């Protein structure tokens, strides 16, 4: 009887691992994210979609805003003084195909759709900085991924 239980447990673990259940270890439930982050995700994943269809959403943080700006290669670096930076900012990365309706040329325009759209948001809802990217900078992979959501 004990051997049968061990075989069943091992079988379940192998099935979960094979189906990708173990690929998102260390991520948190979307319901545990701050309300401002959930609202941003809702805006980009619920029709009418502002820039294009989102396939996947990754949330990184919390971290200082300056660290998230540097990780995304964003040119604006506010607060580069020696004062301590609050660490309650989150990087929300939307994976899909995005077109900026106001852009006439360059990345995000109809002729050059972006593969990624990102927002850097404070937990309390302020400090919105964002942009579009072709690929995710390597520095982002070094951040703590808090949540990963795959959409239908």
Q: Please give the chain's pLDDT, 152 residues, in tens.
A: 444 433 333 333 333 333 333 334 456 678 889 888 998 888 888 887 777 889 999 999 999 888 898 899 876 555 555 555 677 899 999 999 888 877 777 777 777 888 998 999 988 877 678 888 889 999 999 999 999 999 88
- Total residue length of the chain: 152
Among 54, 117, 64, residue whose Cα is nearest residue 90: 64
* Residues 151 and 42 sit within 8 Å (Cβ to Cβ): no
- What backbone phi and psi angles, to 5 degrees, belong to 17? -65, -45
């Amino acid at each position: 009887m004990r051997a049968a239980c061990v075989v069943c447990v091992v079988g379940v673990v192998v099935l979960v691992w094979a189906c990708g259940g173990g690929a998102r270890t260390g991520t948190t439930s979307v319901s545990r994210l701050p309300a401002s982050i959930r609202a941003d995700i809702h805006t980009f994943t619920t029709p009418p979609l502002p820039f294009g269809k989102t396939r996947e959403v990754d949330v990184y943080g919390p971290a200082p805003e300056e660290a998230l700006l540097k990780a995304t290669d964003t040119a604006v670096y506010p607060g580069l003084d020696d004062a301590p930076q609050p660490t309650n900012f989150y990087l929300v990365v939307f994976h899909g195909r995005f077109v900026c309706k106001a852009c006439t040329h360059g990345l995000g325009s109809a002729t050059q759709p972006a593969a990624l759209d990102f927002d850097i948001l404070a937990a309390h809802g302020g400090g919105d900085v964002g942009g579009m990217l072709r690929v995710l900078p390597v520095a982002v992979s070094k951040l703590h991924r808090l949540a990963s959501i795959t959409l239908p």
